[in-house]
Amino acid sequence: MRKLSAGTGLFLLFLLPAAGCRLYSKYPERLDLHTTSLFPRENPAEVAVLPVLDKTGIPNVQRFLPDLRRAFYRRLMERRYTPLALGYVDRVLRTQSGGPVPLVKNLLGKFGEDALLLVTVNSWSERMLRADRRIRASLEIHLVSSRSGREVWGGTVDTEIKVPGHGMPSPDEIPLLRREALDILAGKALALLPKRKVGSYPAGALQEKG
């Protein structure tokens, strides 16, 4: 067997980290969110953001659903929509029958809103969060007009979120990284929602609620 020279061994030491970097393959992202032909006519302004639903069956996911809901609330404002106060939405929900989140069709108009936003988490993986600050998620999103009862925008999101920063985070940093990932995720999804034109609010849309 041939012995490696010192120079060859040093070369391999540099080569191995580079090979490790190539083990990561880009996630096949799919952002399938579209407006329907009804969107321009329905022209929603005020949006009631319903509690986020979970279909993953992962106990940890339940704990951060409120943070994801708040992320969508904030990002809607960046798109020039007017999300109704979450506390107000929750108070109205408590007066409705059908569990924590009744069927959408039974909630239309209950908040005095123009549209309802319903987000469902279909899958969630934090396997790479500690090692590489990455989270993978799949969402289903529906924006339903309260006038017609029909969807005006929505679809599915299957993506990987890379939280900014370097190095392996400590356990104490994980909750903060997760909140950052949720905010980025909501922003990525709502970037495909047409930005509302200033001055195009329907009559009555500026009435204060909550």
Domain count, the chain: 1
User: Do the domain assignments include residue 73?
Assistant: yes
Model pLDDT, residue 68: 98
Mean pLDDT of 145-164: 95
H or E stretch including 176? helix 174-190
Kindly report the CATH number assigned to the domain that includes residue 167: 3.40.50.10610
Per the structure, the complete domain to which residue 141 belongs is given by 27-190
What confidence tier does 147 reach under pLDDT thresholds 50, 70, 90?
A: very high
Contact (Cβ atoms closer than 8 angstroms) between residue 31 and residue 100: no
pLDDT, position 112: 97
Counts of helices then strands in the chain (DSSP H, E)? 6, 7
Residue 199 lies in a domain: no
What integer is the mean pLDDT of 145-169? 91
**What would the two tokens of residue 122 be?**
């279909």
Please state, in angstroms and rounded to a whole number, the distance separating the CA atoms of residues 75 and 146.
21
Type of residue at 19? A
Q: Is the pLDDT reported for residue 85 higher than 80? A: yes
| Tens digit of each residue's pLDDT (9 = 90 or more) over 93-132 | 999 876 667 788 899 999 999 999 999 999 999 998 888 8
pLDDT for 194 equals: 96
Q: For tokens 């929750």, what's the residue?
A: 90
